[in-house]
Amino acid sequence: MPAFQPVRGTHDLLPDEHRKHRYVVDTARAVAERFGFAEMATPIFEFTEVFARTMGETSDVVSKEMYSFIDKGGETITLRPEYTAGICRAFISNGLAQQIPLKVFGHGPMFRFERPQKGRQRQFHQIDIEVIGAPEPEADIEVIAVAFEILRSLGVSEHCTLELNSLGDGDSRVTYRKVLVDYFNDHRGKLSEDSLRRLDKNPLRILDSKDPGDRLVVANAPLLPDHFNELSTEFFDSVCRGLQALGIPYAVNPRLVRGLDYYTHTAFEFVTTALGAQGALIAGGRYDGLIEQLGGQPTAGIGWAGGIERLAMLAQGVPSLRRPVALVPMGAAAELAALPLAQELRRAGLAVELAYKGNVGKRMKRANKLNAVCAVLLGENELQRRVAAVKNLDTGTQEEVALDRLAQRLLALD
């Protein structure tokens, strides 16, 4: 019988890769906290309706990619494909309207059934930022600034570009939608079946189609910014001025869209060419109609999500594992004494490796394999004199240190 393998589209986060993931999360958390964001988490699964309502019944995610099932209680449940819907549901069900503007940070696994490829798995992980209850353009500026600062802290900002667009307000979108539908109706024969289905319900999603034939039609489609009213123009100008004041470079991409009606104003993506086809590192936008669509009161919102796997591939400055101290007891009495000594040294803040068995030679080989900073040799003679022999494994030098000063001396070497 062949050995079990991970389910297609999943993979094991072994220690080296997990360390990179943790570095991305820890860096993002630290930056978010400096901007006043508090961490929260939502369940990994929700009622399917939460995502069906917010992501659109006709979207690829809902119709093709969600992991949905009926649980033992007869409820239709979905593993979360993204974070925003769950956070907005939590905002409503926990009565958090009195806490607006609510600024939260989250991270965790997401699930989508799609073709696995580099930087895209069926179980993947994201960091997430949301601001709920702030309709001002300053919120848009801030969430983009958080993203940029995280990328800068990870050493990634120089390898990516911020693409920015505005979807306008509701009135601008109504005007644009009519113009766009008229244009696509004139080119129906060139559109894919998916785009024809979207033409009545989600015409803006056609602009994001990857079908080659659709792309040729989209290339000459009317542009949304050409149909902005004064309010939409001023809102976008305010966001651009704020980014310029912060020194955050960006490129306006009038083809960057979000297909659902609750999206308004700012849409953005930080993209890179360093990962091949999977170029989006962080993507987000304003969703002022989302909470109302979930059954809450009209409440503004803006946020973004970033792929941890992709960020970990590019992150610079990932710290190495902390080098341990290897405790090497010699003899039965030293074996027993080494247990409380190791505990004492760990409580002092040191990483201590105490092998389970082996003679001195084998333990020293393991110490070198672990890249230990030093070996602490402890035998009956040392126990009687209340000292330990500390061998620096980088220089080869050795010294005797009193046991009551051992932690202090090792911390100086660490």
Instruction: Report pLDDT for 340.
Output: 96
Is the whole-model pTM more than 0.75?
yes
Which DSSP helix (H) or strand (E) runs through 124? strand 123-132
Q: Where are the CATH 3.40.50.800 domain residues in the chain? A: 325-413
Tens-digit pLDDT profile for residues 247-282: 999 999 988 887 676 889 999 999 998 887 668 999
DSSP notation for 224-284: GGGG--HHHHHHHHHHHHHHHHHT---EE-TT----STT-EEEEEEEE-STTTT--EEEEE
Q: For the segment 198-210, what is each residue's pLDDT rounded down to a tens digit?
A: 888 788 888 878 8
**Of 60-64, 94-98, 296-300, where does mean pLDDT reach its minimum?**
60-64
Phi, psi of 94 (to 5 degrees): -100, 5
Whether the per-residue pLDDT at 57 is higher than 80: the answer is no
Q: Under CATH, to which class is 325-413 assigned? A: alpha beta
The mean per-residue pLDDT over the stretch 56-63 comes to 63
**pLDDT for 204:** 83
Distance of CA 17 to the CA centre of its chain: 14
Per-residue pLDDT, 199: 86
pLDDT tens per residue, range 315-349: 999 998 889 999 999 999 999 999 999 999 999 99
For residue 37, CA distances in Å to 42, 70, 104, 351 come to: 16, 35, 5, 32
Tell me 8's DSSP state: T
38, two tokens = 């508090």
DSSP state of 380: H
Question: 3-class SS at 108?
Answer: strand
Residue 327's nearest CA partner among 385, 389, 234, 237 is: 389
Closest CA to 129 of 108, 147, 149, 151: 147
Residue 131: how many CB atoms within 10 A of its CB? 25
Please, is 403 exposed, middle or buried when counting C-beta atoms within 10 Å of its C-beta (0-12, 13-18, 19+)?
A: middle
Class of residue 351 by CB neighbours under 10 A (exposed 0-12, middle 13-18, buried 19+)? middle
What are the angstrom distances between the C-alpha of 229 and each of 108, 319, 328?
39, 49, 75
> Shortest CA distance to 314 belongs to which of 265, 279, 354?
279
- Does residue 40 have a pLDDT over 60? yes
Q: Report the alpha-carbon distance of residue 283 to residue 257 in Å, rounded.
A: 11
Question: Where are the CATH 3.30.930.10 domain residues in the chain?
Answer: 15-169+229-314
Spatial contact of 303 and 349, defined as CB atoms under 8 Å apart? no
Phi-psi map region of 317: left, alpha, beta (phi>0 left; psi -120 to 50 alpha): left
Question: In Å, how far are 148, 202, 247 from 152, measured between CA atoms?
Answer: 6, 35, 12
At residue 2, the pLDDT reads 57
**CA-to-CA separations, 175 to 195, 218, 228, 393, in angstroms, rounded:** 20, 18, 9, 72
Dig out the tokens for 240 from the structure. Answer: 């651009």
Q: Please tell me the class of the 15-169+229-314 domain.
A: alpha beta
Task: Report the share of the chain in percent with pLDDT over 70.
Answer: 96
Average per-residue pLDDT in the chain? Answer: 92
pLDDT digits (tens, 9 = 90+) for 344-397: 999 999 999 998 888 999 999 999 999 999 999 999 999 999 999 999 999 999
**CA triplet 151, 155, 159: central angle to 5 degrees?**
75
Nearest-angstrom CA–CA distance, 17 and 24? 11
Better-scored residue on pLDDT, 224 or 398: 398
Whether 265 contacts 286, CB under 8 Å: yes
Bridge-based pairing state of the strands 68-70 and 76-79? antiparallel
Output the pLDDT for position 258: 79
- Mean pLDDT across the stretch 150-172? 94
Q: Which residue has the higher pLDDT, 275 or 181?
A: 181
Q: How confident is the model at residue 1 (pLDDT cuts 50, 70, 90)?
A: very low
ω into 101 cis (within 30 of 0): yes
Specify whether the CB–CB gap between 79 and 48 falls below 8 A. Answer: no
